[in-house]
Structure 1
């Protein structure tokens, strides 16, 4: 598994992945808004990025906001900039589009080249309107994100690929990068690296896809790959959770990176010390979350070297002989030989350590937060992709409901979102849900602080 990950890492670093720190890390107090389509709206990449900051920088107060709406193009995003995006008061704004802009079924029609060219030009013209608004932002960092790809190469039963669509999407990525370069904005491309992941995996399994099978929407593991690429572009490769190195023979602490080691004691052949880390390990969810998702976030560890590069909580103890049980806060977490301990063990890969369990609680709270935010994104879809076109933006009155019920038989998405809208149309309900979301965030920042752990090594 790790061999595959390292081979892929080498391929990515050879030219498709962004070089180190092309995007500045977020700062304390940043408000990061992710503008996009359904891949952002129903996806997790932004939530996984925030989870990294929640666990790696527990003292950093950040807010991140999903501003995706399903089915949207650059033109639709332009229309809701003020009400749905700038109203969130971003200090950092990420912008991604292209999947819907480039169209669908006509790529398998009579004149796919002409269709692709027309959609490309329309996308470019819509973006130029948005670009003017972005130029006028004061004190906001803009990060252009090249869209995750349309998967043309996977063999998916019952789903004929749209040949040539992703090539048009890549042209959109090119003008996004040109715009970023011209304005001094930051840029990252998801398209080429994810195509490379697919190419590598499909050489072994032709049915492999990072999407949920529709060739469009990345599954949870695909979103974690996207989060990995973003964090890598922020320069976090090689940044460890902690690095503990001890010479047991001499009773000395050789290294205590991103942590504090105290009260080191030797008693016979055993050893103990107190460990206070500055960070928590990054928890990887094994359960699929989100509409249509089938794979958990943790599957991404098979595809990219996130664990090896960004999730190492290393315990290295030299000068031992024999086998040792390792206990943290009195709980046995495993047994290793002196040779294995001298090489180092990655505590972040052991899910039953107290610190990993602490991080899991943060992860679950973040997932609850994501679910509430998704309700608000469905409400936003009703406002900006339905009511706005009927002159009823934010009306939330009897007439709006009558129009909704009259049109829902013609538009399946209106029917799907009706129940959620019928609740959130009421200000008191929205206020209560917003407070619930804020309470979850406050709880995350209460429980994400590392605490002193007692580590013991007992000779077996």
Structure 2
């Protein structure tokens, strides 16, 4: 599909979708949120990032976010595991996304691609209606339907994995997803168009750019942070500061304080000190490159050039007025974090962007523990892949006995069976799965212990 034709389709689709999200609820204390999807959920990080935001922004409001993604699945397969894999997790919120696999791949290279695409879309639609009927039996569970991250058909990095027309098919799925969500009163979030718009914008500067990855399917860590940003913004969380405070240095008084407490302001030789206690932690954005599930090596911080994450979701603002000097050092707990002019301090410094602050370090410890939890959870999802995408149709769901092993060994060269074998040989034992769950529980308990904001001593020192 030519770029201009695709752009026209994107603009046409925009007229068929409601702007932004449709009633995405903010999570509340005690919520159990289950994200159901394919490999982008199974091996992806967007739900991990969403939980990290809640861990740092609402440290006294523990929630649980659970991964129920399985790589390679279509909507019909997700429907078949609702009872044993989704409802069994006792969710208070379900966030469902599908479409990448439902639209197919190599069919778009065949002469009868239009017919096959129509058949696939109809199967996907019918599966959604079946899930809708199932969800209606659980009125106490909030539902969110997500039109997922897009297939990148427009990047010019090469011709690998290029399936002309797949993007249009995904837009059609997003269309009936929104229609069903609206009719059933679900929340709805469209990721397809906003992320495609980012791709098109960046490709005007670099035709080989992609937010997704070199397989055109799986977003990198930057793409997942964009997904988390769009989700959190749809929940109405943009503009809710970590903290925002103003101190008048000349009068030694607090002029403004949002989500924090400033005490003990004292003049010192060359400057002044005060104590600061916020009610939240900054969101820690990693700068280390990583790549997985076909995604190119990317950094989370790359997302900050694409969406206003820091401006809208990560503001910890320090303002100092009444300064008479030219340049100042800011120290927190005896550690110098940077130098700014009096004018810059008056305009405001976003402490959340300063990686040397003790509160940022505290938040990074939370992040690393959350990543450890996520890694363990992925093992359980790899086990779920073997159970639901290989064993269930053979009548061997959750049997995990020696006959099941014989079946697996007889099909080692099929699909992802060999790649999942080592993990399955461990996870088939319930004691191992229970041990992994206990490890995750310990990590979450530790997170909600160490994420409580601490009081810090500031020294604003004239240079």
TM-score range, shorter chain: over 0.9
Q: For 1:376 and 1:156, locate their aligned partners in 2 and report how far apart those are by CA, in whole Å.
A: 34
* Alignment pair present for 1:151 and 2:155: no
Structure 1 residue runs of 5 or longer lacking an equivalent are 1-10
In structure 2, C-alpha distance between the alignment counterparts of 1:445 and 1:77, rounded to whole Å:
32
Gaps of 5+ in 2: 1-10
Q: Distance in 2 between matches of 1:132 and 1:190?
A: 24
* Residue deviations 1:109-161 (CA, integer Å, cap 9, x gap): 11222221111111111221111101111310000101211110011224152
SS in 2 for 1:102: coil
Give the TM-score of the pair, scaled to structure 2.
0.94
Measure how far apart 1:17 and its partner are: 8.9
**2-side partners of 1:364 and 1:52: how far apart?**
13
CA distance in 1 between counterparts of 2:331 and 2:161 reads 54
Displacement after TM superposition at 1:412 (Å): 3.5
Whether the 8 Å contact between 1:18 and 1:188 is mirrored in structure 2 is no
Residue pair 2:161, 2:215 contacting (<8 A) in 1 also? no
Residue 48 (str. 1) matches residue 49 (str. 2)? yes
Q: Compute the displacement of 1:249 (Å).
A: 1.1
What is the RMSD computed on CA atoms of the aligned residues?
A: 1.6
Determine which of 441, 446, 451 is the counterpart of 2:444: 441
Pair 1:174–1:117, CA change in 2 (3 A): same
Among candidates 454, 457, 461, match of residue 458 of structure 1: 461
For residue 437 of structure 2, give the secondary structure of its aligned residue in structure 1: helix
Alignment of 1:7-406 (within 5 A): 18-19=19-20, 22-159=23-160, 161-287=162-288, 288=290, 290-293=292-295, 294-320=297-323, 321-406=325-410
* C-alpha contact (below 8 Å) 1:144/1:176 kept by paired residues: yes
Contact in 1 for aligned 2:246/2:320 (Cα 8 Å) = yes
* Separation of aligned partners in 2, 1:298 and 1:18: 27
Q: What is the number of equivalent residue pairs in this alignment?
A: 447
Cα 1:322–1:60, aligned 2, differ >3 Å: closer, same or farther? same
Q: Which residue of 2 aligns with 1:3?
A: none
Q: What is the aligned partner in structure 2 of residue 408 from structure 1?
A: 412
* Preserved CA contact (<8 Å) 1:20 1:235: no
Deviation at 1:337? 1.0
| Structure 1 runs of 4+ with >4 Å offset | 14-18
Contact 1:251–1:266 at 8 Å: present in 2 too? yes
Q: Distance in 2 between matches of 1:17 and 1:215?
A: 26
Give, in whole Å, the separation in 2 of the partners of 1:146 and 1:440: 31
Cα separation, 2, equivalents of 1:354 and 1:199: 39
**Could you tell me how far apart the structure 2 residues matched to 1:115 and 1:393 are?**
30
d(CA) in 2 for partners of 1:21, 1:274: 42
Q: What is the match of residue 422 of structure 1?
A: 425
